Structures are given as structure tokens and as C-alpha cells.
């Protein structure tokens, strides 16, 4: 079955985006047609793997459903599958295939294992329906002959759907494969690249290699593996911040434990998947005659939080809650805006720069609570109780947290979540020291979008960070939220937030 798919020329290589030009690697500026295009030149962002998996699941459901529908509409004797039975199996097949790993990102690009798992699930599902009919005393619901015909008609449709999809995904490699950078440029990296090129179903697009050792620069601009040499670890971090990398593979010798731990410690604070390339697996995968590179396995060391299905659920939750909140708060927000204008001159909204997802800055919206000429957009001096800069209306808004309501628009703009770590202004201090110096893993809280409320806030860790202890407890709660996230946890935080606001405890 695997041979029915045209040979893959290997992971496509493309010069990296403008990030490397910014960091001094001008040799990778675009050439040819790309250089003549108007506007900034960037790496094509791939489609979410969840979207590709959903497409495969729909094709499988269509294949089993269409074959069953053809039987139902045929002129066969009684025993044709009922519409309810066809619909049930069309829903059941993708669910079971997903549990069998048929929709994992590499499996979408072909391979015997992916195809055989779908066929086994289809045969098992039809067989289970036939057995259920006999067990329930209704053998005529799906006779054995009809079940066999259903399976015989479903097999070519399922194979055709998966093979067409695999071919399409390979031809649209720039938008379907995950963008990968290797860390390390030694013999281990060479063997790993050879093993990946020997496979046709890894779903990776190798952008290049970086060397974590200071001053390790390739004069030719290419690494030993033949991939572009992208520079050092700082260049990789810049690419991650510009959303140009989906995955990082550590292709370092296992004997270099200190290097591995140092690189992992840096990457763990960024929203990127980190995998480890085992030396023996890569070596055996490159042996002549090894089938499909010997089943190359790249175990995860760090996974991006709230990714895949969890990320889709979190995004849907954010937009749904934001729309509901906006519908409820529209009239109160209009009245608050009127009160601000009557209370003191100046704009209704206050915009302040904050650090958000992936350490990127954005402007957060709030109702203005200070006199306009005393506004502090850079947050050089945190607001304290009884601050003379706060207006009469502003004091009430801050006490009830209603000044945060305009951040609903930040959520709808995709800059914030409803629940998450609260965004901080760049350069804010804790007891006179930058946050990054107080807490070593402070940047790890930026692996997810900031929130309108969060776990730290409902625990009471909000307000001025006049001591280092307050910041440490706040960040610890933020990191705990990222590790423990679930819909139930978000529900609990929102409920506690509403209770705190009702009691005027200022949970936001």
C-alpha cells in the first residue's frame, strides 16, 4: 500500500525568514522570485495538525458512510444497513481510528501502519455490529453477506481517501509539515537527517541547524548534514519568538549532558515542542535496508502547553465567553464610559503595553482610572491604596475590577485568554529588581496567552509587587495553572473571580 504513493523527495529546505537577517545572518536573505516579492518575506506557517487530522477523519467517515449508503439504496434483499446504523459506524470509525493513532501528524503522510489501522478498525467495527445483531436477537439487522459487502465497498474508498490526502499533503509541504530546527551539527545530526530523509511519513520540514556553542559558525553557511546553518541559540530563540519554528530536535551527543541540560533549560520557557534524538535509534535507522528508517522515535522532552485539541478547546472557550461577556456588559460599559467622561477630562480607554504570549508585546485595554495628565503608560510607579492620581470614578472601578472589562476586546483580538497569567508591563520591578532576576523561570509564564483573570489572582496574589515573595507566589501559581490546565479549572477560577468581584475583593 505504501508503494502506491509517489516517492517523497525528502523534507523540503527553505531559507529562514527575516528573523535571521535581523540577528546578523544576512547570507540567508531570500533570492530569486522570493526576493522580488513585496512586503516582508516570512516562512509559510503550516496549517494546524488538528485541522489536517480532522480532514482525514472526515474522509474516513465519508468512505464508510458512502459504502453503507450505496448498499442501503441498492436492490438487495432485506438486511440492508439502516441509515441509523450507517451514521453510527461513520462516527465510530474516526473515534476508534484516532485511538489507534491513525490521525497522528506523521501518519497523515502515508505509511503501512496508518493505512492498516484504519482498515482494521473498519473491519472490526462492521464485525462488531454483525455480532451485536446476533447477540441482541436481531440477525437480520446486518446479515453476514451484507456486512462483507459493506467492508468490501469501504476498503477501496478508505484507501483512496487516505492516499489522495497523503499525496496532497506532501505536495503542499510548506503548509502541512511542521517546521523543525536541529540543535547540534555533529555526526549525530548527520545520521538523524539521513534517517529522516529515508522516511516518507515523518511530516517534518527541516529548516536548518543551529549550534549552541558560542562562536561555532560554518564558513560555508551550511552544516555538516547539508542543512543551512542558522547560527547560534540566540538566532533560534528569535525565530521562536517570531513564530517561525514549531519543533526543536536536540541532536546532541548524550555524553554531552551539561550541554543538553543547558539548552533544554532555555527552550523549556518557550512555546515550542522539544524532542530528543536518541543516538542508537538514528544510527540503526540509517542502516542499509532498514525498513522505513527502523521506526525512528523522537521522544518529547517539552511539549507546548494547550496545544492541539486542548488548544482548540481553549480558543473556543475564550471566544464563547468573550462574546457572552460582551453581550452582558455592553450596557454597563457604555454607562461607565459616560461616567468617566463626566468625572474628568481625557479619553475613556487607557492603553498600556504589556508582555504577552511568546514574550511579544501588545497593548492592553482598560477603562481610564487616573487623571489623564497623571497617566503612567510605562508603569514606572505602581498604583497604591489612596493614590492621588486615581479619580473618584477610577477608585470605584479599581475596587470592583470593572476597569478590566475592555480587555474583552483583547480576547476577541486573539491577544489574551479569558483565564491565564495576568499580563505584566515590561520593566516592572519587584522590590526594586526586574521580575526576570527575581524568578529564574519568569519567562515560562509567557508560553500561553495572558488572561483576564487567573489562578494567582483568585489566590490573592495581585496588586503591587513591593516584595519579591509576592512575585514568586504569583509566578508559581501561573506555572501551576499552565501545567494543570483543564476546562474544570477554568470554570473554578471564573466562579471564584465572580464571587470575589461581588465581594469587592478585586480578584481581577
d(CA 137, CA 180): 55
Residue 305: CA count within 13 A, CB half-sphere: 21
pLDDT single digits (tens) 327-381: 999 999 999 999 999 988 889 998 989 999 988 899 999 999 888 877 766 666 6
pTM: 0.76
- Which residues are CB-contacts of 295 (< 8 A; sequence separation ≥ 6)? 285
Residue-wise DSSP of 69-106: HHHHHS-PPS-PPPHHHHHHHHHHHHHHHHHTTTTSGG
For residue 504, the 8-state DSSP code is: T
The answer to the question of residue 88 being in a domain is: yes
When pLDDT is cut at 50, 70 and 90, the band that residue 243 belongs to is confident
Residue 6 lies in a domain: no
- Residue 40 domain-assigned (yes or no): no
The answer to whether residues 295 and 323 belong to one domain is no
Average pLDDT estimate for 288-307: 63
Give me the pLDDT at residue 147, please: 82
Q: How far apart are CA 313 and CA 54, in angstroms?
A: 14
Residue found by looking up cell 523549556 in the block: 268
- Across the range 395-410, mean pLDDT stands at 90
> CB-based contacts of 334: which residues, under 8 Å, 6+ apart?
none
Which residue among 302, 317, 349 closes a domain? 302
Distance CA 77, CA 140 (A): 11
Tell the burial category of 387 from Cβ atoms under 10 Å away from its Cβ (0-12, 13-18, 19+). middle
More confident residue, 385 or 421: 421
Strand partners, 366: 350
Residue with cell 501518519: 107
Its domain, for residue 139, covers 49-171
State the average pLDDT for the chain.
80
For range 368-397, the mean pLDDT:
77
Beta strands in 184-223 (DSSP E): 204-210
Mean of pLDDT values over 306-331? 92
- pLDDT value at position 216? 57
Three-state DSSP at 303 gives coil
**pLDDT at residue 27 in the model:** 40
d(CA 58, CA 69): 16
Is 36 part of a structural domain of the chain? no
Q: Are residues 358 and 468 in the same domain?
A: yes
Split at pLDDT 50, 70, 90, the class of 382 is low
Same domain, 161 and 279: no
Do 357 and 470 share a domain, yes or no?
Answer: yes
Task: Quote the cell numbers at residue 129.
Answer: 455490529
- Residue 379 confidence (pLDDT): 61
Indicate if 297 and 337 belong to the same structural domain: no
In degrees rounded to 5, what are phi and psi of residue 213? -85, 130
427 with 480, same domain: the answer is yes
Q: Are residues 450 and 380 in the same domain?
A: yes
Q: Is the pLDDT of residue 198 over 60?
A: yes
Based on the fold, state whether residues 286 and 347 are members of the same structural domain. no
Contact between residue 178 and residue 152 where contact means Cβ atoms under 8 Å apart: no
- C-alpha 441/C-alpha 435 separation (Å) is 10
Provide the pLDDT for residue 290.
38
pLDDT score for 301? 79
What are the cell numbers at 295?
A: 521506526
Q: H or E element: which one contains 274? A: strand 273-276
Percentage of the chain exceeding pLDDT 70? 80
Question: How many C-alpha atoms does 373 have within 13 Å on its Cβ side?
Answer: 2
- Most confidently modeled range among 18-22, 223-227, 468-472, 490-494: 490-494
Classify residue 286: in a domain, yes or no: yes
Which 3-state string (H, E, C) describes 306-361?
CCCHHHHHHHHHHHHHHHHHHHHHHHHHHHHHHHHHHHCCCCCEEEEEEECHHHCE
pLDDT, tens digit, 9 for 90 and up, residues 46-99: 888 888 999 989 999 999 899 888 888 876 656 678 888 889 888 888 888 888
Note whether residue 392 is domain-resident.
yes
Q: What is the pLDDT of residue 289?
A: 39
How many folded domains does the chain comprise?
A: 3
Asked whether residue 224 falls in the same domain as residue 265, the answer is: yes
Per-residue model confidence (pLDDT) at position 7:
38
The residues that bridge with 417 in the sheet, in sequence order, are 451
Indicate the residue among 152, 171, 190 that finishes a domain: 171
How does residue 296 score in pLDDT terms, banded at 50, 70 and 90?
A: low
Average pLDDT over residues 227-246: 88
Domain closes at, from 274, 302, 330: 302
Cβ-contact 331, 424 below 8 angstroms:
no
pLDDT digits (tens, 9 = 90+) for 245-258: 999 999 888 777 88
Contact, 225 vs 190, CB < 8 A? yes
Band (pLDDT 50/70/90 cuts) for residue 9 is: very low
Amino acid at each position: 500500500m505504501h508503494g502506491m504513493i509517489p516517492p517523497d523527495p525528502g523534507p523540503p529546505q527553505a531559507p529562514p525568514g527575516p528573523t535571521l537577517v535581523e540577528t546578523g545572518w544576512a547570507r540567508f536573505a531570500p533570492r530569486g522570485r522570493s526576493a522580488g516579492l513585496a512586503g516582508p518575506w516570512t516562512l509559510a506557517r503550516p496549517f494546524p495538525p488538528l485541522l489536517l487530522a480532522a480532514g482525514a477523519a472526515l474522509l474516513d467517515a465519508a468512505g464508510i458512510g458512502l459504502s453503507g449508503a450505496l448498499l442501503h439504496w441498492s436492490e438487495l434483499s432485506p438486511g440492508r444497513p439502516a441509515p441509523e446504523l450507517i451514521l453510527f459506524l461513520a462516527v465510530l470509525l474516526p473515534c476508534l481510528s484516532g485511538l489507534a493513532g491513525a490521525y497522528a501528524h506523521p501518519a497523515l503522510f502515508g505509511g503501512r501502519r496508518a493505512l492498516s489501522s484504519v482498515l482494521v478498525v473498519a473491519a472490526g467495527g462492521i464485525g462488531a455490529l454483525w455480532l451485536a445483531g446476533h447477540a441482541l436477537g436481531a440477525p437480520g439487522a446486518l446479515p453476514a453477506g451484507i456486512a462483507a459487502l459493506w467492508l468490501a465497498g469501504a476498503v477501496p474508498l478508505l484507501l483512496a481517501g487516505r492516499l489522495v490526502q497523503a499525496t496532497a499533503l506532501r505536495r503542499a509541504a510548506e503548509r502541512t509539515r511542521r517546521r523543525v530546527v536541529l540543535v547540534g551539527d555533529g555526526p549525530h545530526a548527520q545520521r538523524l537527517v539521513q534517517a529522516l530523509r529515508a522516511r516518507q511519513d515523518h511530516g517534518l520540514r527541516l529548516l536548518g541547524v543551529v549550534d549552541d556553542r558560542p562562536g561555532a559558525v560554518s564558513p560555508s553557511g551550511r552544516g555538516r548534514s547539508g542543512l543551512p546553518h542558522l547560527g547560534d541559540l540566540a538566532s533560534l530563540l528569535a525565530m521562536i519568538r517570531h513564530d517561525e519554528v514549531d519543533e526543536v530536535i536536540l541532536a546532541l551527543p548524550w555524553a554531552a549532558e551539561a550541554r543538553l541540560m543547558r539548552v533544554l533549560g532555555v527552550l523549556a520557557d518557550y512555546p515550542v515542542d522539544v524532542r530528543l534524538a536518541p543516538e542508537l535509534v538514528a544510527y540503526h535507522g540509517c542502516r542499509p535496508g532498514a525498513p522505513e528508517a527502523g521506526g525512528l522515535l523522537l521522544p518529547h522532552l517539552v511539549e507546548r502547553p494547550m496545544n492541539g485539541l486542548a488548544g482548540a478547546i481553549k480558543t473556543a472557550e475564550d471566544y464563547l465567553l468573550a462574546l457572552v461577556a460582551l453581550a452582558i456588559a455592553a450596557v454597563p460599559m457604555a454607562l461607565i464610559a459616560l461616567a468617566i467622561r463626566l468625572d474628568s477630562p481625557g479619553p475613556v480607554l487607557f492603553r498600556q503595553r504589556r508582555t504577552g504570549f511568546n514574550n511579544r508585546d501588545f497593548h492592553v485595554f482598560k477603562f481610564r482610572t487616573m487623571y489623564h495628565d497623571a497617566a503612567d503608560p510605562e508603569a514606572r510607579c505602581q498604583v497604591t491604596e489612596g493614590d492621588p492620581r486615581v479619580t473618584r470614578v477610577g477608585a470605584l472601578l479599581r475596587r470592583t475590577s470593572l476597569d478590566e472589562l475592555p480587555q474583552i476586546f483583547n480576547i476577541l483580538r486573539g491577544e489574551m485568554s479569558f483565564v491565564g497569567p495576568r499580563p505584566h508591563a515590561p520593566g516592572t520591578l519587584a522590590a526594586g529588581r526586574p521580575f526576570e532576576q527575581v524568578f529564574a523561570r519568569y519567562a515560562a509564564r509567557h508560553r500561553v496567552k495572558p488572561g483576564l483573570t487567573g489562578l494567582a489572582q483568585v489566590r490573592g496574589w495581585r496588586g503591587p509587587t513591593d516584595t519579591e515573595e509576592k512575585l514568586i507566589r504569583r509566578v508559581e501559581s501561573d506555572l501551576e495553572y499552565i501545567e494543570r490546565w483543564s476546562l474544570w479549572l477554568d470554570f473554578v477560577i471564573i466562579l471564584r473571580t465572580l464571587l470575589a468581584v461581588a465581594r469587592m475583593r478585586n480578584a481581577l
